[in-house]
């Protein structure tokens, strides 16, 4: 029961982060060359990604899959059909690590493009799938 509560609590935080990511996406869509919006988008992506893989981990543990490292969580989430685009998630993990260490304008613009075109849709798919799974349990 404790694990059930844990993934639900983590999911609630993930939903809030997901909403912030969408706010940042709207901001960059309105002003694509605004540096502050680019920074906000990257930051929102980073903490949304962090909560997303931890939510997947908690959900997998709740379902009897013992994982702990982000790459292993992503692989198991793909194997258990929690996520559909495993490659996008591995790229998210790698890009998240790069984004955490450097800020260059061109890199930020490229990261923003990846977030908008590939990563946000993959995160949204996870969000919608977990929401359905949670509602089914109630």
Domain total for the chain? Answer: 1
Whether 130 has a pLDDT exceeding 80, the answer reads yes
Domain that holds residue 105: 2-137
- The CA-atom distances, in angstroms, between 105 and each of 33, 34, 36, 39, 109 are 10, 11, 11, 10, 6
Kindly report the CATH number assigned to the domain that includes residue 51.
1.20.120.330
The pLDDT tens digits of the residues spanning 26-60 come to 999 999 888 888 889 999 999 999 999 999 999 99
Q: For residue 1, what pLDDT band results from cuts at 50, 70 and 90?
A: very low
What is the rounded distance in angstroms from the CA atom of residue 54 to the CA atom of residue 59? 9
Range picked from 3-17, 65-79, 89-103, 105-119 for highest mean pLDDT = 65-79
Whether 95 has a pLDDT exceeding 50, the answer reads yes
CA-nearest of 130, 1, 128, 10 to 58 is: 10
């Amino acid at each position: 029961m404790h694990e059930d509560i844990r993934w639900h609590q983590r999911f609630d935080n993930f939903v809030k982060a997901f909403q912030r990511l969408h706010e940042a996406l709207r901001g960059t869509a309105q002003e694509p060359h605004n540096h502050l919006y680019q920074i906000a988008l990257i930051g929102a992506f980073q903490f949304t990604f962090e909560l997303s893989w931890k939510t997947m981990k908690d959900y997998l543990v709740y379902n009897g899959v013992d994982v702990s490292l982000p790459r292993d969580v992503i692989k198991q989430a793909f194997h258990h059909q929690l996520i559909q685009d495993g490659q996008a998630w591995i790229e998210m993990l790698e890009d998240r690590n790069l984004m955490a260490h450097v800020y260059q304008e061109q890199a930020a613009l490229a990261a923003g493009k990846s977030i908008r075109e590939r990563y946000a849709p993959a995160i949204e798919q996870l969000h919608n799938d977990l929401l359905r799974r949670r509602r089914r349990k109630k």
